[in-house]
């Protein structure tokens, strides 16, 4: 027994098949041509712990300024970014300093008094532990040397 299929239905099914096939082909080609560095571990994300008032986005931006952003990777004891390469210990120290400089949005208060940055060399995840203390909050001033 034969099924009766109209010609326009057959054309639509053929076009749908070609669209799905070409989408999968493009997906495969883009993955195959993407940049992979076998020697380095890419920075996959930043986790913030201990913040109550200061926004996570502000802290992530400041830590990313130290070099821990998407596109950077760890190669041995070096952090390789798109602009420079620096020792991982220096990048961690800079990230801790930049995290303490985070302000509450809309104000100039810097309530983070301490920050601890840990980098997992196997997964590329950066964990930032911050301590907020409003008793010792520093008011950022353009004239200060902090």
Q: Which residue segments constitute the domains of the chain, with CATH numbers given?
A: 1-34 (no CATH), 41-139 (3.10.20)
Q: Return the pLDDT at 14.
A: 94
- Give the angle 137-142-143 at the CA atoms, nearest 5°: 100
Q: Return the pLDDT at 36.
A: 56
Please give the Cα distance from 66 to 111 (Å, whole number).
20
Q: How many helices (H) and strands (E) does the chain have?
A: 3, 9
Q: CB count, 10 Å around CB of 105?
A: 10
Give me the tens of pLDDT residue by residue for the chain, a chain 146 residues long: 677 878 898 899 999 999 999 988 888 887 766 555 556 888 988 999 998 889 999 999 999 999 998 889 898 899 998 888 999 999 999 999 999 999 888 888 888 999 999 999 888 899 999 999 877 666 666 665 55
The H or E element spanning position 125 is strand 125-132
Distance of CA 71 to the CA centre of its chain: 8
- Cα dist. 124→12, 20, 43, 46 in Å? 46, 34, 4, 9
Sign of torsion over alpha carbons 93, 95, 99, 105: positive
- Cα dist. 94→59, 67, 78 in Å? 13, 9, 14
> What is the reported pTM?
0.67
Q: Which residues contact 10 (CB under 8 A, 6 or more apart)?
A: none
- Cα dist. 137→67, 116, 131 in Å? 26, 18, 11
């Amino acid at each position: 027994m034969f099924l009766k299929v109209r010609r326009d239905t057959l054309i639509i099914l053929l076009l749908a098949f070609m669209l799905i096939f070409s989408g999968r082909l493009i997906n495969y080609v883009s993955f195959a041509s993407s940049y992979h560095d076998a020697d380095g571990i890419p920075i996959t994300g930043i986790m913030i712990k201990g913040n109550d008032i200061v926004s996570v986005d502000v802290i992530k931006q400041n830590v990313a300024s130290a070099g821990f952003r998407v596109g950077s990777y760890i190669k041995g004891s070096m952090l390789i970014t798109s602009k420079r390469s620096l020792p991982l210990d220096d990048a961690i120290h800079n990230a801790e300093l930049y995290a303490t400089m985070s302000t509450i949005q809309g104000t100039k208060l810097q309530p983070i008094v301490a920050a601890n940055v840990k980098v997992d060399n196997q997964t590329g995840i950066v964990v930032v532990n911050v301590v907020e203390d409003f008793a010792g909050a520093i008011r950022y001033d353009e004239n200060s040397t902090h």
